[in-house]
Structure 1
Amino acid sequence: MIKVYGGVFSRGSMVMCALETLGVEYEMVSMTARDENTQTAEYRALNPTGKIPTIIDGDLVLFETQAILFYLAQKYGNNLLWAETPEEIADIYRWSLYVSNQMEGPALDLLLQFKFSPDGKGDADKIAAATAELDRFLPVLEKHLETREFVACGKRTVADIHGASVLAWAKLSGFDYERYPNVHAWIKRQLKSDAAQRVMAKANG
């Protein structure tokens, strides 16, 4: 059985969502991003960065969220969350990496300001800078999703799980998606998916 080190309220939720979608059994070792257990010698032997998530699948130990998602989607589920042609696979990489490279940083900045600011308001300059970065790159995704329910291949893939989950961080932090209704609808579809709901249920389990 696959072992997942991570938690519902972390990047580990993306891995669990993929596994739930693929119908693959797994064991969750609950950890938060700032959990002291991530700094133990035992855990760092698995993931030298001391971050989450990490998975163990047989003899394979793997960290980095997108690498894990790409691996799981290719190995399990008969391409349920993946694709068959090089062109479609490139599309999955393109949109997953577009979110990761251009928008994950500012989305995370907003989330950190929201969660860990002493006054509950955050640093106005950091919030403005992160918002400006999202406003720079979201229009491309907004236009792309005008006539699409999913971001790649005409079906749900790991690019949807990763991308929508990342941009949900900004939504949780109060970012106004009113100007990006297609992106907003895409995020909500991911958060309301059966697999995502089963993952969230584990927070109360």
Structure 2
Amino acid sequence: MIKLYGNPYSRANRVRWALEESGAAYEEETVALGAGGTRSARFLEINPNGHVPVIDDGGLVLFESVPISLYVAKKYSPTELHVQSEPDEGRLLQWSVWAITELEKHIETASLHVTWLPPAARSADKAASGQVRVARCLTILARALEPTGYLVAERFTVADLIVTEVITNLVHTGVPLDQFPAVQRCVRKNLSRPAARKAFAEDIIRPFLA
């Protein structure tokens, strides 16, 4: 059985979702964020970076949510959550990496300066710049989704899962998803999947299912 070290309000959500989709047997230990949890001496022995998620799959310990999600998909759901052809795998890797190097990066910047930082520490210029970049990413994503509603292989894959999980953080940016109807439709469809409903805390996905 896979051991997942996670937290309901962290990137462990994408790993938990991948595990639920794959049907792999797993158990989760919820780890508090910060001192006493992810920064405790015990947890730093598991992941010296001090972050969740981490999995232990029969002694193979992996950290970083996107590689874990790709690993779970390929090992435990190779014909459904993963893909078969090399061109499709290339596209799957492309969108999975894009989700964190482009979309998530700009969502984080906008979220910090719109929501998370104390008002005195926020920068209106950084908030606006982050919002513009998020909108640009969503425009790119909408163009990719319009033909089939999926990113790879004309069906739901781990690439759709990773991108959708990143978008669940959009609510903190001040960028309205309804400006991108192709993306909004796909996010609603993906988060309505039974595995997604099991993987997320209800308050995280509720805004996208209304």
The 3 A distance-change label for structure 1 pair 159 and 17 is same
**Counterpart position of 2:206:** none
**Counterpart position of 1:41:** 41
SS at match of 2:146: helix
Residue 52 (structure 1) shift: 1.0
SS at match of 2:156: coil
- Aligned pair count reads 203
Task: In structure 2, list runs of 5 or more residues that go unmatched.
Answer: 204-210
Deviations along 1:55-99, one digit per CA (max 9) or x if unpaired, are: 000010000111101111111024221011101111101111122
SS at match of 2:66: helix
**Counterpart position of 2:2:** 2
Matches for 1:24-173 after TM superposition, within 5 Å: 24-34=24-34, 36-113=36-113, 116-119=116-119, 123-173=123-173
| TM-score normalised over the length of structure 1 | 0.89
**Counterpart position of 1:175:** 175
2:84 maps to amino acid: E
Contact 1:165 1:190 in 2 (8 A): no
Residue 133 (structure 1) shift: 1.1
Quick check: 1:195 aligned with 2:164? no
Residue 202 (structure 1) shift: 8.6
2:17 maps to amino acid: C
**Counterpart position of 2:11:** 11
2:128 maps to amino acid: A
Is the deviation greater in 111-120 or in 149-158?
111-120
1:69 maps to amino acid: S
Contact 2:92 2:159 in 1 (8 A): yes
Within 2, Cα distance between the matches of 1:57 and 1:35? 26
Within 1, Cα distance between the matches of 2:28 and 2:151? 28
Within 2, Cα distance between the matches of 1:76 and 1:162? 16
Within 2, Cα distance between the matches of 1:48 and 1:4? 16
The 3 A distance-change label for structure 1 pair 168 and 201 is closer
2:104 maps to amino acid: E
Within 2, Cα distance between the matches of 1:163 and 1:28? 23
| TM-score normalised over the length of structure 2 | 0.87
The 3 A distance-change label for structure 1 pair 76 and 36 is same
SS at match of 1:190: helix
Within 2, Cα distance between the matches of 1:80 and 1:137? 26
The 3 A distance-change label for structure 1 pair 200 and 23 is same
Within 1, Cα distance between the matches of 2:13 and 2:93? 20
Contact 1:114 1:121 in 2 (8 A): no
